[in-house]
Structure 1
């Protein structure tokens, strides 16, 4: 089983020292592509980044700073620590047992607008990007740019690991980073349909914040019970 989740926009900026051996051992699979994107990013003007990310001037300045610091690999964070959004907070990786953390490390992958696909143990640099962002000199947004590469990578992993199931806990924007028609030829894809009861008794889609918490809680349950509850929760 492979469980797919999305990156979060919020990330820690307080990086930890990284040895050369750690960097080599936990280097993201698409590190070279990420380097290339950040190199282009680092040469943009503040107004260009502000327009590209649809963010404030101050956030654009910080985004460029991160891009310019990206080549410095003597510091970084594991993906499990770097992302701080609601899903990751609700999942609460650090409070898992050692055995559950090992299971999570092997079975969870993060769809990243910069790195393509990440394991929780991959060491990454903080960045600011999004799936629907179109970089200068590119005709496609980041989700479209990653679609083929992520699909090939995922299918290869399915074959290598002998996995026959993917649990998709991603929002629609992140899901566009994959070609599901191709992937479904190699495994069963399950997508939880999260609902909450309304005052009328009918079930409705939860608001964005609650939906993220529900994804995080289900992710934790899947990890703690080694995926055995999935048929009861979907």
Structure 2
């Protein structure tokens, strides 16, 4: 089983790392091609392209201009510890033991607009480039056209023997995966919370739940996808009635939230 999660816009390059091991992104040559074009953007370009404030636009222009290979522990950080958003609050990477991290390195991947596909310990330099950004580049009008089937090919290389792809990513990022080309079966967990007597997807809770499920799989060394139905963290329960072959629904009542 191979789990896919989205990256985060918020980054952390300050917290001391629990381990000093790292790996290199496998699609870094593609990242370099993108960066060769991104580095020419002005703060105004970035503000328009990403709908950012002047301050954030300048920050990201500086990131583009200072981005350089080779990646080392001195100028980059393992992806799992660099991302800091709702998904990563749920994942809680700093609570993972060494054996957990080793398992995650084999079974968890982060989709990325700049890096394509990252392993937890892959070094990355700070950036902001969401997959849905309409950045015109040498291969097309957006990042989906830039990546083409490269991300899908990489997933197939790594998931072929793992049979199942557990999609814990957002629609924006999973759209970069060409599902018809995937060798493995895709299962997408859906998290619904009760609000005023109605069960619905609430973005903040759903993002955190994706991270919680990734941590659940890692800490319990789950390899049989059927065992995912046992997920009961933070009050969520599998709902057979709401689920189908492709979407597994987990529901949480207000009293359990």
> What is the TM-score when the length of structure 2 is the normalising length?
0.80
SS at match of 1:154: helix
Residues in 2 aligned to 1:178 and 1:100: alpha-carbon distance in whole angstroms: 26
SS at match of 2:76: strand
Match of 2:193 in 1: 196
User: Does structure 1 residue 166 correspond to structure 2 residue 165?
Assistant: yes
Residues in 2 aligned to 1:46 and 1:125: alpha-carbon distance in whole angstroms: 19
| Larger RCO of the pair (alpha carbons < 8 Å, separation 6+) | 1
Residues in 1 aligned to 2:133 and 2:190: alpha-carbon distance in whole angstroms: 27
Match of 1:19 in 2: none
1:83-113: CA deviations, max 9, x gaps? 1111112211121222222111111000000
Runs of 4+ in 1 over 6 A off after TM superposition: none
SS at match of 1:109: strand
Aligned counterpart in structure 2 of residue 208 of structure 1, from 182, 189, 203: 203
Residues in 2 aligned to 1:35 and 1:45: alpha-carbon distance in whole angstroms: 18
8 A Cα contact 1:6 1:111, kept in partner: yes
8 A Cα contact 1:91 1:219, kept in partner: yes
Match of 1:41 in 2: 38
Deviation at 1:142, TM superposition (A): 1.3
SS at match of 2:129: coil
8 A Cα contact 1:164 1:188, kept in partner: yes
Aligned counterpart in structure 1 of residue 216 of structure 2, from 207, 218, 221: 221
Deviation at 1:136, TM superposition (A): 3.8
Equivalent residues in 2 for 1:23-62 (5 A)?
Answer: 26-62=23-59
- The structure with the greater share of residues assigned to helix is 1
Deviation at 1:14, TM superposition (A): 4.5
Match of 2:132 in 1: 132
Deviation at 1:197, TM superposition (A): 2.1
8 A Cα contact 2:6 2:169, kept in partner: yes
Match of 1:78 in 2: 78
Match of 1:232 in 2: 230
Structure 2 unmatched ranges of 5 or more:
232-247, 249-257
Q: RMSD across aligned C-alpha pairs, in angstroms? A: 2.1
Match of 1:148 in 2: 149
Structure 1 unmatched ranges of 5 or more:
17-21
SS at match of 1:4: strand
**Residues 192 and 137 of structure 1: CA distance in aligned 2, closer, same or farther (over 3 Å):** closer
> What is the TM-score when the length of structure 1 is the normalising length?
0.87
